[in-house]
Amino acid sequence: MAEGETESPGPKKCGPYISSVTSQSVNLMIRGVVLFFNGVFLALVLNLLQIQRNVTLFPPDVIASIFSSAWWVPPCCGTASAVIGLLYPCIDRHLGEPHKFKREWSSVMRCVAVFVGINHASAKVDFDNNIQLSLTLAALSIGLWWTFDRSRSGFGLGVGIAFLATVVTQLLVYNGVYQYTSPDFLYVRSWLPCIFFAGGITMGNIGRQLAMYECKVIAKKYLLHRKTG
């Protein structure tokens, strides 16, 4: 090579930081999509249980079938599930308290099963009055948190989610979007916050598990980059 000539630089490789940022963005989107469809599926199943037992009533012209009835419920629940599932691990990182209690998929699946059972009980089990049902569901919901979460951040987020979701539901019922039979807590049932609390804990567990899986994948990619680089 002649003196003074410089070798043309080859294509630059992305460093491990850029690669990890790209991987995190892609994985964040994947987690959001998975959480969204989880929320849509659970909303379809649980909403069907409530409608069959006449717990919730939608206008007859809105309800034609499980997919055409209240079409806005599954997308809204899916969006809320994605936000909640992404928020839980984010809060854990912000507080510096990574959640390590029962971090395996079998535990997450049991949590989902218990949540479905709690919702099923709200529609199927007959109590003498709504107070007894509300106290029972409150105990079951706190038991779900204690069994599968036990974190202060999880409990606080669950309470906040239950409060916010209950307020939104009150506004929807007040504006005639749908209604509850035998409301005893303003326009809704008194046990509804318990369902929202349990749902928040469940989606938080799914989101945490997905985030932990993402961290493992990124760590493996980083170690592989270090070895090959």
Q: How many CB atoms lie within 10 A of CB 189?
A: 23
Mean pLDDT of the chain: 78
Mean pLDDT of 144-150: 93
DSSP string, 123-190: HH---SSHHHHHHHHHHHHHHHHHHHT--HHHHHHHHHHHHHHHHHHHHHHHTTS-EESS--BTTB-T
pLDDT above 60 (res 192): yes
Confidence of residue 52 (pLDDT cuts 50, 70, 90): low
205 or 20, which is more confident?
205
Give the C-alpha separation, 82 to 210, whole Å.
Answer: 11
pLDDT at residue 147 in the model: 93
Q: Is residue 156's pLDDT more than 60?
A: yes
Q: What residues form DSSP beta bridges with 180?
A: 56
Whether the predicted pLDDT of 7 surpasses 50: no
Mean pLDDT of 195-223: 79
pTM: 0.77
Is there a contact between 158 and 205 (Cβ–Cβ < 8 Å)? no
